[in-house]
Structure 1
Amino acid sequence: MKDLSAVLCYVDFSGIFDRNPASPRVARLQALAEVLFRPEGVTLDLGDGPRQYVAFERSNSMSRMGRLSFLRADLWETVRRRIMLDLELGQCQLSKLYAYNGLMLSTGARVEGIEIDRPHRVIVVDNHALQRSARVITVEDVGGTDSVRRYQRVERVEDFSVTEFDGEGLVSKEYAARLNKTLGGRHTSFQIRLPFVKGMLHQVDFHDFFRSAGTTHLTDLWGVKHPVAKVDVILTKSMFKGHGWLAENGKSWEDYWAAFRKYRHALYVTNVSKERPQGFTQLNYQFLTTLSMTGEEFRPRDLPDGWEHSPKEDARQWLTKATETEYYKLRADGDIAPQKKQLVF
């Protein structure tokens, strides 16, 4: 197969299904888009003649951007089996299945020649859970009809469990050096993808640690012992999304690697740690939803919607202050926007 462009294509649905169909234009676009989701697929000519294409997988980032991949229908089952490592699924949560299969569409560097599948090299261990209690604010259902429910705000103390090292594992100092040699640079953390595996590996010299502790073997999630000297990657259960499906199919960790080799999978590195400390880092919604933060700490109510002077002149600190200050400097620059007197956020 010479060119994947005639096999796999990406369709951007942003601004279509999340719009009100009362608009004739939106209604027309939605009707056209729905045709793509017929069971028999849709006929497209992507340069290889007319062929049938069917809806395929999407990564998490594709879901957020409203994008979906379409695959040539005659290859759909073959590719699905490669992604699924020949596992057969019973009942499952479709959103998770799509997300885990979509890991194969992550953008990353394919790393070969490092014997990732060598026996004992990669093991999976369980995550410990931390039990805590805290006062929470939530809502309770207080009645209503099936289509319209009524809720009330409540505050109470709840017990909850926190998964430790969620999505995080370890990579040995020696193996991290091999990864760096292949990737270039001197990194200590690696965001990885393997079939049904995602997460971050942090470099730790655990060979030396276990040697000094007199530990010679590590026991994995299935009770199998592995010589410490042969282990280079320690995954946590939360990183291995296929654990339940592997058990459901009566297969072992060795069977996983057999299918891995059969379908010529490889380790992919999708991101790495910075080689030098950064002054700023990108913030996302997950930080904001988990922080114990008041509205005033996020942004005081008395602040203006538009600035006539730099936010830096305000002695207080709030979450968006640095961003607003940088934006003010950018917009207030005489060479960029000399006509701007008030900057609205």
Structure 2
Amino acid sequence: MPLHGTRRTAVARTAAALAVLPLTVMPATPANAATVTVAADGSGNHTTIQAALAASAPGTVINIKPGTYRGQVSIPASKPGITLQGTTGTSGDIVITGSTPASTAGTAGSATVLNLAKDTTVKGLTIANTYAAHDSQALALYAGGDRQVYRNVRLLGYQDTFLSWGGTGASQVRQYVYKSYIEGAVDFIYGNGALVIDSTTIRSLDRGSTNNGYITAAATHSGNRYGILITRSTLTGPSAARTVALGRCWHAGGAADAIGQVLVRDSALGGHIRQAGAWQDMSGFSWKTCRFTEYNNTGAGTSTGTADRPQMSGTTAAGYTAQNYLAGSDGWNPVQ
């Protein structure tokens, strides 16, 4: 981040842990959908996910057997309705991994999974970017399509792990992440989409510093009411107490109308979250130019009354539900 121009100062990186999420019951395969199987050992229809995507029509369900799959997986906008799903229900069994930085490949080129298609579902697998030179953003997931769902996934990275991006202007994509795990250190959940992260573990990595990074960096267009919602989730990490910020204000490309919106609600906040300075300035823009709030959180990292921890009222919070973030003009509701 930003998508164009010079990125912020590089910081140290630790290796992404490969903790396995517990077994989750997977939703049924869509009726009458074409189905293909990917297996690295040759026991399926294809040995790589990208080969399966190239051969598949929109709406295909791609079952992925256990293994490690290296290199970028790209789902183009021309193939909506694709499902990528691990066959075991345990996300650590199927790992899609890369180690490409944006400094050499650009933002989209660095993403281990580049998903530009609408109506896609990804479940039961891991997406990782293990770039370790510590000098560039390096995305695990670039989510650039509307109405995308991610269930029981692990997103592992360090700087800019997960981007939700609808392009410049007020155009907005929607994504729903449920019962998953997201890991990083610097702006690792970011973008201008309407993004709901629900019932998910969000782990901040330890940089060994009094500044252990920022969880979010929203660039929500001023014309859009909703940006990033973290709800019913757990914010954790090995970092020292009060060294991690909830986020900072990203005016993408210096755009004055990128007035980021983030709400953290009904979640458990670990003691690694800052009291003073929980929301941070960025690139000369004050965090107060953005729309940052909290509501009904618990845990050691909750606000103790500092002036820079704005709390949303219950009346206002009634209009900032996961369903409202994702409804758009078509009433989309994937919320569990």
Category of TM-score, reference length = shorter chain = under 0.3
What TM-score do you get using the length of structure 2 for normalisation? Answer: 0.23
The higher-RCO structure (CA 8 Å, 6+ apart) is: 1
Larger Rg: 1
What TM-score do you get using the length of structure 1 for normalisation? Answer: 0.23
